Every structure is written in C-alpha cells, then in structure tokens.
Structure 1
Amino acid sequence: MSLPQKIETLRLATVFNKKTREYAIEKLKKDKSYLLKCLSEDVKEDVIFRNYNDYLTSVVLEEEGKRERIKPIKRQKVFSTKEFLKFYIHDLENTPDEFKIQKVGVFDTETTDIYGYIISYAVVIQDMQSMDTEEIYDFLNPKAKISEEAYEVHKIKQEDIEHKPTFAEKKDEFLQIFDNLDMVVGHNVLYDFGVLKRELERAEHFPNIIDIPIFDTMYYSADVVVLEKKKMPRLEECVAFFFGKQNANYHDALEDVKMTLKVFNRLLQEK
C-alpha cells in the first residue's frame, strides 16, 4: 500500500545529526544481528516507520544503551500531520543532545519562472542548541530570461543579475553549505530541491540529487494551521496563524527563510 505524498514528505525529517547517522550505518554494515531481532518485533502490516534511517540509527543507540528504539507508528494514527508532528517532537525530545540535529539550514530560492533556474537563494543556518543563526544570501546569473510572471512575484530585474556569478561557478560553495547541515528546512522545499536538481544537471554534476533529510513546514503545518478552506497553507498563512499578520516582504528569498525559521521553531513547540 502506497502512502500519500504528504506522509512520504513528513517521513523525510530526521531527529539525528549527520555524524550519528553515519556512525550507525557503518556499525550496521559490520553487524546486523540486533537490527534483525528488532525488525522481527516491529514489522507489521498496520505500521509505518516515521523515518526508516532514524529507526536504524535508534536501533544502534539502543543496543549501546544510549537511547530507546524509535517505535513504528500505527498506520491510522499518522494521516493527520498534527499527529505525525507529535511523534517527531517526541523522538526529538528523547534523543540525547550529542546525537540530535545540531545544524539546520532553512532554504529558499527565487527563479526565472516556475520551471526555471535560480536567480537568488538564501540559507539561514540555525544551531539547535544555542539558537544562534548565520545568514547566507546571494544572487546568480541564470543565463536565462526572467519571465514576466516571475518578475511580478519577486521584482528581480534582468539587469540586477547579469553580472552575478552563475550556478556552475558557485556550485562547489553551494554544495558545501548542504554538506555541513544535519537537515534542510523549507516551506514547500521539495520545489526548491527540484530547481536544484535542474541546476546540477545543467552544470553536469551527477548524481544531481542532494541526499539530505528534509523538514517541510508546509506539509507539517497542513493540519495544524486552521484555514477557512482546507488546503496546503502558504507561508504567509502559517506566519499569520502563529504570530499574527507580519510586515514581511514575502517572495524575497532571505525574508522567506527568516519567516520559515519562525514557523519551524514554533511547530517544534506543538503539543
């Protein structure tokens, strides 16, 4: 039985930092005996794993006496993102600080058109323990025309970016940002990863997929943010629901990631 895209997207979020996940995978390559024992107890037709890689990591930590195993969830309990968020928060709170996510990067792009290339991007990196942040914001020359529809949204002119570096010129620096993160956060961030995939392909970088856990605030807010009409909430709707109407310049990449970070931190306080 396949799961809805909403649930598959929610399952991309991790509670563990990159170092811990890598350590667990290396240990499992050497000895899977305890994992097989756990799977024989946990695999049932009516359950799903919140994040299978997190389950594997938790099995290793449980065997070492450092954390209880992350249990699978009854399938009928997770078709509300509000319920799924509770499971995520529970797992995060029960993970010792040395193993849990430490660096998250909130990511957004502005593009030439809906199926186009990056003209600006922003990442705000948050330390999950100190809550300190670092901002990265830059423009790129897409070597492509900005559509009138896209300009009406972000107001970035062709002449503003014609002397900026291309994605290919910034690619290694760009990828290094992601390599230093435990998880990427974004509002409809799967769209931005689709843009990245096109850029990496155009730059002849393969595989053209960035393999990193994702926390999508649009999907995690879907059943938390109450709207007049049932739908996926826009970023400004999430912000207004949690904090009241804000004087924010939406569709500016840096402003959007700042607002998304506020929503992400607020979602982690849901009970």
Structure 2
Amino acid sequence: MEISVQEYARQCAAQGLRGDYLACRPDFTVRQEYDYDEAQQEVWRLLCDRQTRLTRRLAHRSYLDGVETLGLLERIPDFDEVSAKLRKLTGWEIVAVPGLIPNAPFFDHLANRRFPVTNWLRKREELDYIVEPDMFHDFFGHVPALTQPAFADFMQMYGDKAAGIVDLGGEEMMGRLYWYTAEFALMQEPGQPLKAFGAGLMSSFSELQFAVESPDAHRVPFDIETVMRTGYEIDKFQRAYFVLPSFDALRDGFQTADLAGIVRRWKDEPALDPSTV
C-alpha cells in the first residue's frame, strides 16, 4: 500500500526519527543542502579515519577500490559530485533522503539506479552506535560497492524484482536477502583470505572485526534460498554471516533464482535460526 509523504512524516515523528520528512518530494527525496559546519566535518573525518584503519585490513578489495575512486574520506561528500563519478562507472547516482523511506519508493530508486543516502550525520557522542542509518552508514558503507559493475547490476535487479515479490507475501524474505548481502556479507574468492563486504560491517568498528577475525563468528556458504529463510539481528552482532564467492556469483544466482517459488514454499514457515543454519 502506498503512503503519502505527510502520513509517513507523521509516523516518523511519532517514532522519534530525526530526519525532516516533511521536506520530502513525492518520491521521498530531499535536497542535500550542503551546509555542514566544521564540527560535522570533524565528525566525518574522525569516523572515516577510525574505520579506514580497519577496512584497509579487513574489507574486500572492491570496496577499497570504490573508496579510492570516489574520494570519500577528506570531507562530507557532495552528492552531486559523487553521482557524476558513479554515472561514468556503473550508471548509478545518489539521491538524498531524510532517513528510512517506504519500500515502494526505495525499490523504485534502486530499479532506476538511484541509491538513497541519508542527508544528516550522527553526533560525536554516537560514534560507536546509532539506531537510525545516517550518512556515514549509507555513504561509507554502501556507496563504494556501487562502483563494481556486478554488484551494481545486482542492486538494480533487486529493486526491479522486489516489489513483485513483496506482493506475493515475500517482504520479510526480500528484507533478509538485502540484509545478508548489501549489509552483512562476507566474501572469500578462491585462494584468497576471507574479507568483509556490506554496509553494516563497513560502518561498524566492532562488528567488522568480529565477523572477519573472531573464531566465534558463524560463517555459512551463500545460498539464496537459505538466506531468504534465515532470520537476522537488528541491534546486536549477527548470529550468521553468509560468505559470497564473488559478485558475479551473487548477480548471476539472483538473476536465475526462482524467487516467487521460494516465497511460495517458505513464506508461511518460521524463519531459520541463524545460529544453527
């Protein structure tokens, strides 16, 4: 069911979300309004400096290549400048949003190679954890991967197919697929060490280390049907991390998967326990 901007803004205000949802256009985008003060720029640099020390050791090379290509570390990114670079690489662009937006416009943006990025940044006292996704999570975590053609194709296909699968009753299952790929995926290419990928890991100081290095992390070979059946954690470390062999495998597997069939078989069954999957 579609929801108006005004009704969504009312719901977000009731939940205490901090974005200015009343400023949304009909597609739930807003202007970035590049008016960040020096204190905010300092928070950005502090977050990037601290996290980069880890990502250079633990992140997959494709993510690191994306960061270097887009130049995200010195100051809060200008969305238009980054979009100009992304369009040349994979045809994607960045659109500003006030925070989480409804599924329908989110899927439509992805299907048209537009990635929504929150236009506000966390405060200094929130360096380690923030409940809502902010600009650091969205930009530092998600955007570098969109420089990679195979992953960029997967994200576009996800947006294109998601609405139809949700209509079949697969909203939770598509959410799990996004969670375990775009947010918390690991990758281990043949003959290469395990590396991290996914915005939830890239933007988390503590969970990035746990997911890649801890002997207690539960790592599972990636399988789309299993992923779509597996529950996940919102406010604590994941009890399962799925390991991709490559972005090509993710894109090609998603393109050929019978998503509707998976939903019909499992939508009414309890989610799998991630700690035992």
TM-score normalised per structure 1: 0.27
Higher strand content, 1 or 2? 1
Q: Which has the higher contact order (CA 8 A, sep 6+)?
A: 1
Higher helix content, 1 or 2? 2
